[in-house]
Amino acid sequence: MDIIERIKSQLSSNPVVLYMKGTPEFPQCGFSAAAVRALSAVGASYAHVNIFEEPELREALKQYSNWPTYPQLYVNGELIGGSDIIIEMYNSGELQKLVSGTK
């Protein structure tokens, strides 16, 4: 399976996907940690992909999403954004509304 097909498969198999540095249990950057805290605070159920384990995917996802940084949050296959956007949405209550319909 080619890398873009694998990304599409991950996104279609899981309603909420966080591409991040590290894991939810051990985030390896402050931005990924902030995204995990926000998702946990709203009770989101999500899949995660540790981009450090897959350098090929890390580079391909930047081109696929046209978003140069991590973490990247996808809901229903659509890029929501990175840490700043996730935190903004959490603070406004939008994040909870967005993920509540995906459980």
51 vs 10: CA distance, rounded Å: 13
Q: For domain 3-100, give the CATH number.
A: 3.40.30.10
Once rounded to an integer, what is the mean pLDDT over residues 14-18?
96
The answer to whether 11 touches 72, Cβ cutoff 8 Å, is: no
pLDDT at 10 over 90: yes
Query: What pLDDT digit, counting tens, does each position of 91-101 carry?
Result: 999 999 999 87
Q: Is 98 annotated as a binding residue?
A: no
Query: Is the confidence at residue 103, as pLDDT, over 70?
Result: no
Q: Which percentage of the chain shows pLDDT scores above 70?
A: 98
Lowest mean pLDDT among 23-27, 28-32, 53-57, 85-89: 53-57
**Residue 38 contacts residue 90 (beta carbons within 8 Å):** yes
Strands across the sheet containing 78-81: 47-50, 16-20, 72-75, 78-81
Cα 7 to Cα 67: distance, rounded to the nearest angstrom: 14
> Domains of the chain: which residue ranges?
3-100
pLDDT band with cut points at 50, 70 and 90 for residue 68:
very high
Q: What is the pTM of this model?
A: 0.95
For the stretch 39-61, pLDDT in tens is 999 999 999 999 999 899 999 99
